[in-house]
Amino acid sequence: MSSALLIIDFQKAVFTEPPAYQADLVLARISDLIARARKAGMAVVYVQHNEAGTVWEKDSDTWYFPAAIAPQPDDYVCHKQHSSAFQQTGFQAGLAERGIDEIYVSGYASEFCLDSAIRQAAALGIKTNVVADAHTTRQRPHLDAPTISNHHNWVWSEMGQIKVIPAAQLPF
């Protein structure tokens, strides 16, 4: 079995106004993680959101991943229309087919698509690691983005079967 770096929904839509909190910094961090994962021989897996009539609409310019982190031809890309990468997608089977039983999660948005996928992965017995400083969200009317991401890092770390690790401390 093997590990994979997972990039969830960090598409160009993340940069539309108002952009996600520290979007450029998180983009650079994810780009670095991809390079490190590839050097270590790890799989790089993408989840790509599609929502008609929004900036996430399939084949719109903002639906694609930024060039700095764009998938390579051999990368697994899972398309989804719901918050969880596992809902009506075949994502679980795609990971299993590739022998992936451990994931390192990064991307957008901490409290929506990441949270859904992280909890589901852990519930399914996939060894789940969150890259603490490689996910983000937008400011919300009731809470600022850093508080949202920090809160979720804390919640995930308290769940027992999920590890939250800063990028500098990853084993690859």
- pLDDT number for residue 60: 98
**What pTM was estimated for this model as a whole?**
0.97
DSSP one-letter string for 85-152:
TTTTS-HHHHHHHTTEEEEEEEEE-IIIIIHHHHHHHHHTT-EEEEEEEEEE---BTTB-HHHHHHHH
Q: What is the mean pLDDT of each run of 10 residues along the chain (172 residues)?
A: 96 98 98 98 98 98 98 98 96 98 98 98 98 98 97 97 98 97
Backbone angles phi, psi at 87, to 5 degrees: -80, 115
- pLDDT number for residue 1: 81
Domains and CATH numbers, the chain: 2-169 (3.40.50.850)
Q: How far apart are CA 123 and CA 75, in angstroms?
A: 25
Cβ burial 75-90 (10 Å sphere, 16+ → b, else e)? bbebebeebbbbeebe
Give SS3 for 75: coil
- pLDDT number for residue 112: 97
Q: How far apart are CA 150 and CA 11, in angstroms?
A: 22
Q: How far apart are CA 6 and CA 86, in angstroms?
A: 13
Q: How far apart are CA 55 and CA 38, in angstroms?
A: 29
